[in-house]
Amino acid sequence: MNCRIQGGNGTPDDGWVRVAILDEHGQAVLGYSRSESDPLVIDSNHPAAPKGATWSKKPPDLNALTGKKIRLRLFLRQADLFSFRANGRE
């Protein structure tokens, strides 16, 4: 994800980006909702920035969703999103 966060103090008090994973009907997948998404709070080019979206109660891989149709919904607060990429299994 390539994003710029306004404020940039590294806390969710300023800007952030969150990602929810939805099923094919537009309902949040259990464990991958907006509220369970870890907020991205620093610019993506910062050395301490995470490599992508994470969910606090789920493992970093998305293997549990393999073979399922999903949608991504991105939420931004005082942030600019330039691009994102979803990688499939290798």
2-5 and 16-23 as β-strands: parallel, antiparallel, unpaired? unpaired
Look at residue 34 and tell me if it is in a domain: yes
Look at residue 90 and tell me if it is in a domain: no
pLDDT at 87: 66
The residue segments making up the domain with residue 46 are 1-82
Mean pLDDT by 10 residues, the chain (90 residues): 78 84 94 92 78 80 86 93 71
Tell me, letter by letter, the H, E, C secondary structure of 27-82: CECCCCCCCCECCECCCCCCCCCCCCCCECCCCCCCHHHCCCCEEEEEEEECEEEE
Look at residue 89 and tell me if it is in a domain: no
Look at residue 88 and tell me if it is in a domain: no
Domain count along the chain: 1
